[in-house]
Amino acid sequence: MKLLTVKNLTKSYQGQKTAVHPLSFDLHQGECLGLVGESGCGKSTLARCLLRIETIDGGSIYFKNEAIERLNERQLHAYRQKMQIVLQNPSAALNPKLKIKDSLIDPYEQYRKELSLRYFSYTSKKAFIKQLLDAVQLPESLADRYPHELSGGQRQRVTIARAISIEPELLVLDEPTASLDVISQGAVLALLAELRLSLNLSYLFISHDLAAVAQMSGRILVMKEGRLVDQFHRDQLMSDERHPYTKELISIFSS
């Protein structure tokens, strides 16, 4: 089943060259769709359009056959429960003045009235926070700390816990490991792979790191200068039919 359909999406910024040219792709329920591209290729613009933080210039974005550009405020609120995002820089995503437990509980409190949880259960705030920290393999003792007391990898786990706390259906992961060192990178990728299965999530995994994308995703899209230049299944990565730009990326990432 198609969870997300992007059809002829365009977006440009005033005075700048077009950020996203007509762009179309589908994301199926349960899959991890990979999106590879360099900085400036429009992949983060796309992510912002999907969340409707940006309004699109043309085309449509359908989430479960509903055009998100036509959602009213109340529907948009409901949509954002189903679609959550994890960004590159976890320090910017967490309020430095809030303890970890207070950052973690925030999305749940926004949605508690309409939310019926399937995987987590809310008996008390303390017990709920413990479940979330468990899910991302962090000790309960971190609940009372502040973001600056955590390592980069721990902070990114907290932002992941926050995103999954309201049990969304789709997670947009925009360079989730780019600011982490190599050991934390590997561990966060493994955690994300595990959560996808245990919470029945779908991912749009966006990264400049072709090796990470190929590890996480079956289907892979390649974006360059606002355009989708290549798309293929991981098994076809080494095929001769690949776009020259994909081949360039492969040569950089092969060792």
Partner 1 sequence: MLSIRQLSIRSGAKKLVDNVSLSIREGDWYALVGQSGSGKTLLSQAIGRMLPPNLQAEGSIFYKERDVLALSSEQMRTIRGSKLSYVFQDYQGSFTPFRTIGQHFEEYQKAHGCFDSRARQRNALDALDSVGLDESVYKRYPFQLSGGQLQRVSIAVALLLSPDLLIADEITTALDSVSGHRIMEFLAKRQKETGFAILFITHDWRPVKRYANRIAVMKEGQVVEAGEKEHVLDHPQHAYTKQLINAAPTLDRVLAASREEAEIV
Angle between helices 152-164 and 100-111 (to 10 degrees): 20
71 near partner 1, judged by CB under 8 A: no
| Interface pick for partner 1 out of 182, 197, 241, 244 (rule CB under 8 A) | 182
Site string for partner 1, 127-166 (x = CB under 8 A): -------------------------x--------------
Work out whether 186 is an interface residue with partner 1 (CB under 8 A). Answer: yes
229 binds partner 1, rule: CB under 8 A:
no
Stretch that binds partner 1, among 5-13, 57-65, 81-89, 178-186 (CB under 8 A): 178-186
Any idea what the Cα angle at residue 123 is, between residues 91 and 112, rounded to 5°? 60
248 binds partner 1 (CB under 8 A): yes
Q: Which of 6-14, 52-60, 129-137, 245-253 is the region at the interface with partner 1 (rule: CB under 8 A)?
A: 245-253
Q: Which is nearer to partner 1, 24 or 137 (CB)?
A: 137
Site string for partner 1, 203-222 (x = CB under 8 A): -----xxxxx-xx-------
Tell me the number of residues near partner 1 by CB under 8 A: 29
Contact status: 66 vs partner 1 (CB under 8 A): no
Residues that bind partner 1 (CB under 8 A): 38-39, 152, 181-187, 189, 208-212, 214-215, 234-235, 237-238, 248-250, 252-255
